[in-house]
Structure formats: structure tokens, C-alpha cells
Amino acid sequence: MQPMISLEGVSFKYNQSTEALKDVNLTIKKGEWVSILGHNGSGKSTLSKLLVGLLKASEGTIKVDGIVLNEDTVYDIRKKIGIVFQNPDNQFVGVTVRDDIAFGLENLQIERQDMIKRIDTYVKKVDMFDFINKEPSQLSGGQKQRVAIAGILAMETDVIIFDEATSMLDPKGRRMILSYMRELNKEGVTIITITHDMKETIESDRIVILKNGSVLKHGPSNDILNDKETLEKSNLELLLPLELMHHLEQHNIQNERLKKHLWQLSLNG
């Protein structure tokens, strides 16, 4: 099967001396949920900007759905990938919730009747129907972020990137966004979460760890989450229940039921 996104030897330099990304090779399958994990300055946000052509790779090729990303194809590729950014306030373009969801559709030149239908569908999907005429100043951060998601969903892209989309939200808002990711992934949308929060990566199929602009390790989530050595190398911490499990193992305390419960706990975030 043709991969949804593939990167071959991608590098990016902000200026001559600092290389934000070094020779990144990565393939993401259709319908996959991949977490890109890394500390601040690891190049993870640069990666997301490269994928939608907001930045141009200095070297290497990026392919989305079989199309090579370049100046001519960037507008077509943006129709396939949506990004939810970190700051809910800085991606709210419309004066009201309805106008904001309409913004992307207006850009795609969707017919008005279609637009109204789509807005209706997706505003309900993120449970914001009661707020459809509200202005951003009347909404909480979590609500604004849900509107941002609806705005991307309405564009019906194949891939949605969540670029630290939950880092400015409270725990309740974060759980809500995570539940949308789960739901969307079930419906077949390819999801890429970019984060430094381990809790967001648990449910994803695969984790890619970035360190100083290179891929340090990648593999199935269960393996990476348990890989204490690699995580410590990239300034990340094990989830508390897993940390406890390691501790128990180190001290030869065998209790399979306890271990099972700890693993379950880490999954529930």
C-alpha cells in the first residue's frame, strides 16, 4: 500500500549554523496514528511546518499521498493535511465560531449550500453547536481548540496534525481533544500528534522520538513507552505507573496482578 506521508533524507536549516532537522527518514501509513515525541527544540514543530509547506526543506523529498511536495503542489497538499496549532487564540480567524469554521471552506471554494451543511455537521461533532454564534472572547481555550478542530475537520483532509494542540489546555480540555483523536482515527483519518507529553502518545500506533533534529528511535508505542533508557536519553520521563513497574522489577517484587493494573492505569491516562 502506498504510504500517506514519506520523508526521505529531509533536512532543514533556519540559518547556516543551526540545523533544525538532520536527515529525517519516515513513512506514515494511511489511517495510522503516529506520535512525534521530543523535548523543546528537538525539531518536532519544524517537521509539522515542513509537511504543509509552511517551511521549505533544505534537502530531501517529502511525499504526501504520492505527490512530491514542491512550490507547484503545495496548495494541493494543503488540501490533504490539516494542522491544529498550539495556541487556540492565534488560529481563530473568523469573528464567530461559524465564520471561523467557514474560513477554510471559503478558501477551498466550497459551494455555500455545502458549506452550511458541513459547518452544521462538524460543529455538532465537536459539541459546539450551542456556541455557533459566539465570539472567541466568549469561549474558553478548550472550546476555541475544539472550534479549530471543527475547522480542520470540515475541510475533510486525509491527515490531521495536532501540533502541541493540548499543551495550553486544562486536563479536561486535553482529555476531550484526545477523545476526538481516538474517534477520528477509528474513522480512518491519519493522525500525527506532535507533543512532549507522554500521556498523549499512549494510544497511538507508533512513536517517533526526535532529538536535536534527528530520529533517535521509532517503533510501536508499547515498546517505546517502556524503553526507559531511550526516553531518558531524550530528556523525557517514563509515565508514572510504568516507572513504578520498572521499580518493582528492579527490586524483584513479582506481582502480575499489580503489573497488569499499572499498565491499565497508564493506558487510561
Partner 1 sequence: MKNVVIGRYIPGHSFLYHLDPRTKIMALLILMAAAFVVDDIMHLLIGLALVIGVLLIGKISIKRVYLGLRPLMFLLIFTFVFQVLFNRQGPVLYEETLYYSPITIGLVVLTVVFWGFTKKFIRFRLLYFLLMLFTILAILSLIQEPLTFRTGAFVVHEDGLRLAFFIMVRLIIIVTLSTILTITTKPTDLNLGLEQILKPLKLVRINAEEVAMIISISLRYIPTLLDEANKIMLAQASRGVDFEEGKLKEKVVQIVSLLVPMFIISFKRSDELANAMEARSFVPGQPRTRLHVLKWKLNDSIIIVFSLTILITTIMARVLI
**By the criterion CB under 8 A, which residues form the site for partner 1?**
49, 52, 54, 75, 78-79, 81-83, 85, 87, 89-96, 98-99, 102-112, 115-116, 119, 135-137, 151-152, 155
The CA distance from 202 to 19, in Å, is 29
CB-wise, 119 or 242, nearer to partner 1?
A: 119
**Residue 67, SS3 per DSSP:** strand
Please say which residue, 192 or 198, places its beta carbon nearer to partner 1. 192
Contacts 24+ apart (CB under 8 A), 171-180: 172/142, 173/140, 173/141, 173/142, 173/145, 174/142, 174/200, 175/269, 176/142, 176/146, 177/142, 177/145, 177/146, 177/149, 178/203, 178/269, 180/126, 180/146, 180/149
Q: Which is nearer to partner 1, 54 or 253 (CB)?
A: 54
Cβ closer to partner 1: 164 or 209?
164
- Minimum CB distance to partner 1, residue 181 (Å): 18
224 alpha carbon, distance to own chain's centre: 17
Work out how close the CB of 149 gets to partner 1 at its nearest, in angstroms, rounded to a whole number.
12
Closest CB 104 distance from partner 1, rounded Å: 4
Nearest 10 degrees: CA dihedral of 253, 241, 239, 159? 120
- Give whichever of 99 and 227 is closer to partner 1, judged by the CB atom: 99
DSSP helix/strand/coil, 151? helix
State the nearest-atom distance from the C-beta of 46 to partner 1, in Å: 12
Helix (H) or strand (E) holding 210: strand 206-211
Burial state string for 206-215 with b = 16 or more CB within 10 A and e = fewer than 16 = bbbbbbebbb
Beta-bridged to residue 81, according to DSSP, are 159
Residue 138 is placed in which grid cell?
A: 466568549
Q: How far is the CB of 151 from partner 1 (least distance, A)?
A: 7
Count the neighbouring beta carbons within 10 Å of the beta carbon of residue 139: 19
Q: Which is nearer to partner 1, 92 or 180 (CB)?
A: 92
CB of 136 to partner 1, least distance (A): 7
